[in-house]
Amino acid sequence: MTWFKEKSFMFAMILIIFIFIIINFFFSNSVTYIIVTVFLGIETLWIIFIFSEIVDNGKRT
pLDDT digits (tens, 9 = 90+) for 25-59: 766 677 777 777 787 788 888 888 878 877 777 67
Q: Give the residue-averaged pLDDT of 15-21.
A: 76
Res. 20: pLDDT tops 70: yes
Residue 23: is its pLDDT beyond 60?
yes
pLDDT value, residue 22: 74
Please tell me the pTM assigned to this model: 0.48
Q: Are 42 and 21 in contact (CB under 8 A)?
A: no
Q: Phi/psi of residue 27, each to 5°?
A: -110, 95
The band of 8, judged by pLDDT with boundaries at 50, 70 and 90, is confident
Q: What is d(CA 38, CA 60) in angstroms, rounded to the nearest whole number? A: 33
